Chains A and B, each alone.
Chain A
Amino acid sequence: MEATSEKLSIDKKQLLSGLRVAASRIPLLAWFLGGLVAVALEQFIGNPFARGIGLPKVPVLFGFVIMLKKPFLIPSAVLYVVLIYLLPVAVVARLTAASMNRLAAKLLDLKMFLSVILHLLLFYAVLHIWAEMSDYRVLVLKLMLIAVMLTLSLNIINGYMGEFSCSHPGFMALGAYSASVFTVWLFADDRLFGPALLPPAIGPFLFPIALLVGGLVAAVGALAVAVPSFRTRGDYLAIISLAFMFIVKSLIENLEVVGGPRGLGNQPDWANLPVVFATTAICIWIINNFVRSTMGKALNAVRDNEMAADAMTVDTRKTKILAFLFGAFWAGVAGGLFAHVLRYVNPGTFGIQKLAEVLAMVYFGGLNSVYGSIVGACGISLLGEALRPLELYKWIIIPLLLILVMIFRPTGLIAFKEFDVKKLVQPKKMAD
C-alpha cells in the first residue's frame, strides 16, 4: 500500500516535471495562438456546449463564480474549463511550438520592436475575443488593467524606492477629476459645465491629452507631498502622504464645481478596451524601461543605502522626488482611465478602502518587480470577482490570504525579479 502510494507520488512528480519541461519549450507566441483558438472556440460553441453540460450559460470567469454559487455544477464547470480553455490551449501550443519558435527567432532577428508589437496584438486579440462574450468581462478586464497601472506605479515608490506612500488614491482622484473635467468641459453637454465646446468627433483623438493632463495634475500634487517629505528620511512620507490623501478627498467633496460629494458623471465613453489595453502596455513599457536603467536602479541604491548612493554621485533627493512624481503621474493616468471607464466618479471612491486595495495588490504581488505588480493586480482583482458569491466572507478570505503571503513571503509572491521583455518574446529552447 505504502509502496504504491510512494510510486504514485513519484509518477506524479515525474509527470509534473515532464509538463514543466514541455511547457518551458513553448514560446509565448504559441501560447497566445492556443489562447486564440480557445476563445474562438468559446465564441462559436461556448453557449450550446455550456447548456449541453448543464450550465445556464457560458461561465463568465472560468467557472469560479458559478462553482461558488451552485456547488453541484462544479463538475460541469470544471469540464467546461478543461475542454474549452485548457485542452485547446495545451494542444495548440504544443503543436505549433516548433513553428512558432522559428517565427519568434526570425522576428527577433528582424527587429525586437516588431516582435513585441506582434505579441501584443495577438495577446490583445485573445483578450478582445474573450471579453466580447459579455459586458461584465469587458468591465472586469478594464478595471484589472487599470489596477495593473496603479499597482505598478505604487510599486515604484513602495517597492523600488522602499518608502511607504499612502497617497495613491489621492493622486488617482486628482487624475480622475482633472481628466474628467477636461473631457466633460470640452466635449460633453453637461449640467455643470454647459454645452460642449468642441465637436465630439475629434474627442477620441484628444483623449490621450486628457489622460496626460490627469497624470500631470497628479504629479504636481505629488510635488506638494514630496518636497517636505524627502527633507527628512523614514516614516515621514507615510504620514504626510496619508494626510494628503484625506486633504484631496475632502477638497473635492467641497468643490461644488465638480459636483462635490455627489460626484461627477457624464464622461464620454472613450475608454474602450483597446485604449485601456494600449495605455497599460505603454505604462508597463515606460516604467520597465525606467526601473531597468541606471537612473532607475538609483532608486534601489537609495533604498538599500542612501549614504553609499550619495557617495557614488547619485543625487538622492532628486532621484526620490522624481520617482515619486513619476509614480504619481501614472496613478493620475490610471485615475483618468478609471473615471472614463465607469463614466462617473465621486470622492468617496478615493479613500482608505482604495488605499488598502492598492497596497494589498503591491505587497501581494511582490515588491520591486513588474511581474509582481501584474500578478498582484490581476490576482487580487480576479479573486475579488471570483469570490463575489461569498459576499461578506470574501472580505475575510482575501485579507487572510494576504496575511499568509506576508508571513511566508514577506516581500510578496514574485519580488525582486527583472521583467526582461526580450526573454519573454524570444524562442524557447527545443529538445535536441
Chain B
Amino acid sequence: MSLLRVEKMTHYFGGLRAVHNYELAIEPGQVRGLIGPNGAGKTTIFNLITGIYQPTEGKIMLDGTELNGRAPHVIASLGIGRTFQNMLLWRHMTVLEHVKMARYSKLTYGLAGAFFGTARRYQQEAESEEIALRLLKMMGVEQVADQIVLNLPYGAQRRVEMARALAMEPKVLFLDEPTAGMNPEELLQMMDIIRQIHGELGMAIFLIEHRMRVVMELCQKIQTLVFGEVIAEGTPEEIQNNPKVIDAYLGKEVVQ
C-alpha cells in the first residue's frame, strides 16, 4: 500500500478549475517530483493535501488515515511536513525556537507543565532541543541557533525552514521549490542536503521544482502538471523525452 495516496482530486476556485482529477501514490522512501509551468496549480496541490484548502472532490489517504476535512495542524501532525515557496518564517523568533516549535504536537506536558514548569516539561523541552540542534547541525546551521532567523542570509534561512519541517518527524516531506532564488553554488548545496535527508532519514519526499536539473537528478518519478491536469508521469528519462512535456515547457513552434 502506498504511503500517501490521492485519488481523483479536483478543486475549484469559484468557477475556475484549478486542479482536475489529480492522482498520486507515493511509496515509502520514494522521492517524487512535480513540475509544470507557472500557475499550473502545483502549490495548490500542496495546499490541498496539507489541508489549507479543502478539495472539492477526491480522497486523500496518508498511511491508512483519511486526510479530507482535517485541519492543517492535524494533517501536519499526522505526518506531512512542508516548506513554503516564499519561506514562511517567524520574524521575531530565533533559529532554535523555529525548529523546536515544530515539535509542538509531540509535547505532552500540557498546561500544567507550561504554567508551573514541571520536571516533565524541562525533560521534554530538553529532548526537543537536542533533536533540534541535531537537525540544525545536519543542515549546517547549528552555529546560528540563537540568532533571529531574519538576520540570516537567504540560503541559511532555507536550511532553517527545512530543519523545521524535519523536526516534525514527517512521514512525507513536501518541499515547495526549495531552490527558488538560489545561485548555482547554493543550488548544488541544496541538492546535497536533499540527498542527505533522503539518505539519512529515509523519508519520502515530494518536491515541486522549476529547475529541470534538480528534479531530474533527485527524483525517481516525476509528474508534469499543466493547467491543473497531469499530462505526463514517469521516470526522469521518460519525462525528458515526452513530447507533451516539451510542448508545455517550450511551446509548440519549437517542436515543429
Direct contact of A and B (CB under 8 A): yes
Stretch at the interface among A71-79, A197-205, A267-275, A297-305: A297-305
Judge whether B92 is part of the interface by a CB distance below 8 angstroms. yes
The answer to whether A311 and B93 touch (CB under 8 A), given A293-B114, A293-B125, is no
A294 at the interface (CB under 8 A from B): yes
Interface residue tally for chain B (C-beta within 8 Å): 37
Across-interface contacts of B89 in A (CB, < 8 A): 304-305, 308
Q: Are A297 and B101 in contact (CB under 8 A)?
A: yes
Smallest CB–CB gap between B87 and chain A, Å?
A: 9
Binds B, one of A37-45, A217-225, A313-321, A358-366: A313-321
Is A416 in contact with chain B by the CB < 8 A criterion? yes
In whole angstroms, how far apart are the Cα atoms of A389 and B37 in the complex? 71
B115 touches which of A286, A303, A305, A309 (Cβ 8 Å): A286
Interface stretch among B58-66, B102-110, B222-230, B242-250? B102-110
Is A256 an interface residue when CB atoms closer than 8 A count as contact? Answer: no
0/1 per residue, A347-359, Cβ < 8 Å to B? 0000000000000
- B213 within 8 Å of A by Cβ? no
Residues of A within 8 A of B91 (CB): 304-305
- Which positions 114-146 of chain B face chain A at CB distance < 8 Å? 114-117, 121, 125, 128
Q: How far is the CB of A75 from chain B (nearest CB, A)?
A: 46
Are B73 and A308 neighbours in the complex by a CB distance under 8 Å?
no
Instruction: Determine whether the beta carbon of A294 is less than 8 Å from that of B84.
Output: no
Q: Which of B77, B104, B105 has the most CB of A within 10 A?
A: B104
Q: Give chain B residues whose Cβ lies under 8 Å from the Cβ of A305.
A: 88-91
Binary CB contact string for chain B from 156 to 188 against chain A (1 if under 8 A, 0 otherwise): 000000001100100000000000000000000
Q: Which residue of B lies closest to A293 (CB)?
A: B114
Is B72's CB within 8 Å of the partner chain A? yes
- Could you give, for residues 306-337 of chain A, a 1 whenever the CB lies within 8 Å of some chain B CB and a 0 otherwise? 01111111111000001000000000000000
Among B93, B116, B128, which residue has its beta carbon within 8 angstroms of that of A289? B116
Interface extent on A, as a size class?
A: 20 to 34
A368 engages B92 (CB within 8 Å): yes
CB pair B93–A294 under 8 Å, yes or no, is: no
Contact between B125 and A294, CB atoms less than 8 A apart: yes
Whether A313 lies near B77 (C-beta < 8 A) is yes
In this assembly, does B239 line the interface, its C-beta being within 8 Å of a C-beta of chain A? no
Across-interface contacts of B73 in A (CB, < 8 A): 309-316
B164 touches A312 (CB 8 A): yes
User: Which residues of B, 50-75, contact A by the 8 Å Cβ criterion?
Assistant: 50, 52, 71-73
Q: Which one, A294, A309, A310, A416, contacts B100 given CB within 8 A?
A: A294
Q: Does A290 contact B (CB under 8 A)?
A: yes
Known pairs A307-B52, A313-B76, A313-B104; A295 contacts B84 (CB<8 A): no
Give residues in B with beta carbon < 8 Å to A.
50, 52, 71-73, 76-77, 81-82, 84, 88-93, 97, 100-105, 107, 109, 111, 113-117, 121, 125, 128, 164-165, 168
> 19 other contacts beyond A308-B89, A308-B90, with CB at 8 A cut-off?
A286-B116, A293-B113, A293-B121, A293-B125, A294-B103, A294-B107, A297-B97, A298-B101, A300-B90, A300-B97, A304-B89, A304-B91, A307-B84, A308-B84, A309-B90, A309-B101, A312-B73, A312-B76, A313-B104
Chain A residues at the B interface, C-beta cutoff of 8 Å:
286, 289-290, 293-298, 300-301, 303-305, 307-316, 322, 368, 416
Q: Which are the 9 A-B pairs with shortest beta-carbon distances? A: A308-B88, A304-B90, A313-B105, A310-B72, A313-B77, A312-B102, A295-B114, A293-B114, A313-B76
